[in-house]
Amino acid sequence: MLQQIVLQDGFSFPALGFGTCAIGDWQQDDDYVVQTILKAIKAGYRHIDTASLYGNERSVGKAIKLSGIPREEFFVVTKVWDCDQGFESTLASIDASLARLELDYIDLFLVHWPVPSKTRETWAAMEQSVDAGKLRYLGLSNFRQSDIEDLLSFARIKPVCNQIELHPYLTQQPLCDYCNEKGIVVSCWSPLGTGTWSGVELSQKPLADAAIIAIAERYGVTPAQVILKWNLQQGRMAIPKGESDKNIIANLGLSGFELTLDDINAINQLNRNHRYGGNPDTVYESNMKMAVPA
């Protein structure tokens, strides 16, 4: 059985999710995407992460339906984009995501990036949607400590997670410590630091780091498996993407080894505070130029 995240109400779901951002290409939404997600489901993934901005919610919904597996066995995550934040527009975004996914409810709904001037009304709309049975759990993505502190000052329903860029070159330990203190599970996007959108050569990414490779060789596993295990052993979620059968299956193969505390500390020490994706301090203007596909 895959390692589980257990929430404060006792509900559990797989700690390892399947990331769907830019399968094939950015905002691609076609049979290739459906078949890739189906491969992941066949391999054993039940935690599927998407977002309205990814443009592929329809493919996620089709794959779930075509899998023949009962909907309740899946943990589906999607997000409200920056341009859609605000009370009425968030309600509309939730309904649009449900329609594209062809689902009656979403397991976990996230605020994709912090827009502090709209957080209160966005969250109120999300809470109302929990009350209406459209959403089960609420969470955050890319929120800084100051953003979380603000939200906790008025939230009736507390966030269960904060999905952030986190990999061996960007460990974000102070933010992780704060989330842990508040009972907010940390979820890691781009956990391998390998997003092709970053324009960085693989040789410059954590998978090629000599320290990671040495640990992988010692256990007879892949560098990706070492990094994913490093996250899961510290109680975090990880959301790797994969397109090949080899990578999809390998990312699930984490049960045959355990990292030592020395291994974990060695990986922690690789931190460079290096972001491949956007910085929540500066990304707002560029995000507002990006639109959710119809």
Active site residues: 54
User: Rounded CA gap, 82 and 60, in Å?
Assistant: 21
Coil, strand or helix at 216: helix
81 Cβ contact list (under 8 Å, min separation 6): 51, 52, 53, 93, 112, 287, 290, 292
Residue 233's Cβ-side half-sphere holds a number of Cα atoms within 13 Å equal to: 19
What are 261's two structure tokens?
């505390």
Q: Is 14 exposed, middle or buried (0-12, 13-18, 19+ CB in 10 A)?
A: buried
| 209 residue type, one letter | D
User: Rounded CA gap, 88 and 2, in Å?
Assistant: 38
Q: Find, among 26, 69, 56, 79, the residue nearest to 187 by Cα.
A: 79
Buried/exposed 213-229: b ≥16 CB within 10 Å, e otherwise? eebbeeeebbbbbbbbb
What are 263's two structure tokens?
């291994």
105 Cβ contact list (under 8 Å, min separation 6): 98, 133, 134, 135, 136
What are 20's two structure tokens?
């769907």
